[in-house]
Structure 1
Amino acid sequence: MTKPTVSCANCEKEFEEGFDFCPHCGQKSNDDLTIGVLFYNTISNYFSFDARFFKSFVPLMFRPGYLAKKFLEGKRLLFLHPAQMYLFISVIFFFILSFTVSDIAEKADSAMQKDKLESLAKKKDSIEEIKPVLDSLEIQSLMKPLKQNQKILGLKDEDLKIADSIIKTGRAGDKTYNTTFNYNERSVDSLIAINAEDNEIYQAMGMDEDAGYLTRKFYGQLLKFHRNRGASSIIMTFFNSIPIAMFFLLPLFALLLKIFYFNKGRYAHHLVFSFYYFSFLFMVFSIIFGLNRIWEIPDWIDWLVALSTFMYLFLALKNFYSQHWFWTLFKSGVISFTFLMMVIPTTIILLVMFSFLFY
């Protein structure tokens, strides 16, 4: 007796009725679209959020080096792929961290506003003693009649430049609103008010006329910061640059492993270890930041958990590379020191560069 068959909605091939999944393509035979199915499929397709994640989570947290070792042994379907694990956990980490960054940015803006108000209050009593200074609007109004009647007065272009220079000399004495970059905010504000060209504003901020591309870029970003008058944008840009820096940080860590374990496999093997180790780091700090959002954990506990990651590295290296504990302890210490002293400062420089140039 022939059993009834059904047609797969995905590959349109027929198979016997009663199968939960299509034997040809693997899609569920009864895959009614619900909200739960929709979001599960989305997460599963892009982050492989399935049973393998839960099978991988406990070994990742409590069996250092186990996942990387099993992956190289060929067990690559039982546990979550290292790159997928890293991607999924990093998304969780940066999502949780974004709340902390928002709080920091808000506090920074408040601190800047408070500092500015205090600075203005301190200088309020002495502002009358300062020599009256002409801003760009006033200079423009004084120069306008001279330019309009240049021919009548018999003035040359050089004469106008000299007159403009003489009028502007008064601005040099105005130090009432200097910033940490040591340029005159009042002059810059007046130039912005008359829609002056950016190049003229840059020079008012201290840029030389023959400045190169990077210097002009620097003053351009500085002008953006001046117009926004807030630290939150810089902080958020700095935060958004962290994933970019990780493209340098993780491969460099794998390179350090390759140097210290040069006879222990290819670079790709060390990269697998690095993916799992950084996944562990992101998960630990996700838990720390997440718990601190709910209730404030004592600082000594935060530091203790953070320092425990070094012990995790030692155990992971011992289990993964199977060397004597003394050499493993020595190498883990040197790798950690080198990583902190060289790689992280380099990454911070990259973060600042990306944050400032692309702000």
Structure 2
Amino acid sequence: MTNSKHTCKNCEKTYSDSFAFCPHCGQKRNDQLTLKVLFYNTISNYFSFDARFFKSFFPLMLKPGFLAKKFIEGKRLLYLHPAQMYLFISLVFFFLFSFVEKDQAQQLDATLAKTMKKERVVDSLMTTIKNDSIKQSALLGKILKDSLERGELRKTFKEHKVLSELSNEELDSIISNAQFETRDFNSLSYMTKKIDSLIDSNASEDIILKEMGMTENDGYFTKRAYSQSLKFYQSKKGSGILRSFYGMIPIAMFFLLPIFAFILKMLHLKRGTYAHHLVFSFYYFAYLFTTFSIIIAINLIWDIYNWIDFLIIMSTSIYLLLALKYFYNQGWIKTFIKWCITIFIFLSIVTPVTTVFLIFYAFLFY
């Protein structure tokens, strides 16, 4: 009696019907596609979201450096792969962070709108004063100073059509922050009015940019800066720049994480290959994203005190110290010195340079 043959739908090779899985490619013989199979396989294959994740989660949070050391020692199937853990947790973090990003973008637009409203109020005030034929800045400053000392400036503000709509708090801010030197103000006021006039007359972008000061001899980035400045001035919103900045952070992490590992390699030249330090970095950054995800999740549900958030964030540096001690197995003095150097280089040099670059990129290409 011969065994019947089955043809694999994946590799199209035949094998005995007695096999539950294809001996050539490993696909299950009767692999019926259901929603459960679809989503479980997706999560399991790409993120290994199975028992290994839960076996890795608590050691990651409670045993600094433990997972990295075990992975280096060869226990690579018992715990989740460092790159897979980092990828999955970073995905969760940026999903939660998208809610924070939305709120911050709205707050930024509201702040800009309020600031620009005050600038228009000061513009209106200066125009009113200018129309009274006060030409000399010294005389103007003396009159305003005398009015302020006599308490008449607020009365003048309140009698103005536009200014009368503002609250006392907004008037206090204008009085304390407004600069009444006519030379600088008139120059800025003239420029903004001219740009507004060109925009209202539907002038081409080239004409407006030329009026702003851009020339044909300017380089690409200079022209791009002028163009984006005009875009920002027309929209009166900064949310686009902020979203562009946040959108670049996941990409930046693919450079920051290897740099962090390189710093560790330079401080521990005799402690394994670069890959060893990269494993440590993957697990440490996975811990960071997990901690930040927990903070964001809690604050989305219940707004906890800022000092609690601060203490939790600061604890991540203590976690790094303990992780370095366990992973590299050096004395406390050596570990402490290398911990200080690592934090100083990464937070004082690498992170600020990266932030400046991201802001520059976000402004030029939002």
TM-score range, shorter chain: 0.7 to 0.9
1:311 to 1:173, Cα distance in 2 relative to 1, 3 A = closer
Give the counterpart letter for 1:73 in structure 2. Answer: E
> Are 2:109 and 1:102 equivalent residues in the alignment?
no
SS, match of residue 184 in structure 1:
helix
Structure 2 counterpart SS, 1:314: helix
- Other structure's SS at 1:210 match: coil
- The answer to whether the 8 Å contact 2:15/2:23 transfers is no
**How far has the Cα of 1:46 moved from its partner?**
3.0
Indicate the residue corresponding to 1:266 in structure 2: 273
2:207 counterpart (200, 213, 222): 200
- Within the candidate set 305, 321, 334, 1:327 is matched to 334
Q: In the alignment, what sits opposite 2:298?
A: 291
Deviations 1:71-122, CA, capped at 9 Å, x for gaps: 2222333322222221111111111111101101101111111222233334
Q: Does the Cα contact within 8 Å between 1:93 and 1:286 map onto a contact in 2?
A: yes
Asked whether the 8 Å contact 1:183–1:205 carries over to 2, the reply is: no
Farther-moved stretch of structure 1 (233-242 vs 40-49): 40-49
Q: Specify the code of the residue in structure 2 equivalent to 1:14.
A: Y
C-alpha separation in 1, matches of 2:261 and 2:305:
33
Using structure 2 for the length normalisation, give the TM-score.
0.77
Separation of aligned partners in 2, 1:176 and 1:107 = 30
By how many angstroms is 1:6 displaced?
A: 5.5
Match of residue 147 from structure 1 = none
Using the alignment, how far apart are the partners of 2:239 and 2:89 within structure 1? Answer: 26
Q: Secondary structure at the match of 2:49?
A: coil
C-alpha distance in 1, partners of 2:184/2:199?
Answer: 17
User: For residue 40 of structure 2, what is the amino acid of its counterpart?
Assistant: Y
Q: Which runs of 5+ in 2 are unaligned?
A: 132-181
Question: Which residue number corresponds to residue 14 of structure 1?
Answer: 15
TM-score, length basis structure 1: 0.79
Structure 1 Cα separation of the partners of residues 221 and 265 of structure 2:
36
Residue 56 of structure 2 is aligned to residue 56 of structure 1: yes
Aligned residues: CA RMSD: 2.8
What corresponds to 1:187 in structure 2? 194
Q: CA deviation at 1:68?
A: 1.6
2:184 and 2:336 map into 1 onto residues whose CA distance is 60
User: Which AA in structure 1 matches 2:35?
Assistant: I
Aligned to 1:85: 85
Give how far 1:125 is off: 4.5
Deviation for aligned residue 1:256: 0.9
Shift of 1:276: 1.1
1:342 paired residue among 324, 332, 349: 349
Q: CA deviation at 1:249?
A: 1.4
Q: Which amino acid aligns with 2:74?
A: G
Question: What does 1:41-190 correspond to in 2, within 5 Å?
Answer: 41-130=41-130, 175=185, 178=188, 184-190=191-197
State the partner residue of 2:250.
243
Q: 1:276 to 1:121 in 2, by over 3 A?
A: same
Tell me, in whole angstroms, the C-alpha distance in 2 between the residues paired with 1:276 and 1:111.
38
> What does the per-residue CA deviation read over 1:264-285, in whole Å, with 9 as the maximum and x for residues that have no partner?
1122211111111111101110
Give the Cα separation in 1 of the matches to 2:230 and 2:92.
Answer: 35
> Which 4+ runs in 1 deviate beyond 6 A?
1-5
Q: How many residues align?
A: 316
Retained in 2: the 8 A contact 1:96–1:289? yes
SS in 1 for 2:217: coil
Deviations 1:293-345 (A, max 9, x none): 01012222211111111111111111211111221122112211221111111
Give the letter aligned to residue 230 of structure 1. Answer: K
Name the structure 2 match of 1:218: 225
Paired position in structure 1 for 2:320 = 313
Query: What's 1:146 paired with?
Result: none
Q: Is residue 276 of structure 1 aligned with residue 277 of structure 2?
A: no
* One-letter amino acid matched to 1:267: Y
How many angstroms apart in 1 are the aligned matches of 2:122 and 2:193? 17
Q: Does the Cα contact within 8 Å between 2:3 and 2:16 map onto a contact in 1?
A: no
User: 1:219, 1:331 → 2: CA distance?
Assistant: 44
Q: Aligned partners of 1:183, 1:214: CA distance in 2, in Å?
A: 26
Question: How has the CA–CA distance of structure 1 residues 52 and 177 changed in structure 2, closer, same or farther, with 3 Å as cutoff?
Answer: farther
Deviations 1:112-158 (A, max 9, x none): 11222233334434434547xxxxxxxxxxxxxxxxxxxxxxxxxxx
Question: Does the 8 Å CA contact 1:90/1:279 hold for their aligned counterparts?
Answer: yes
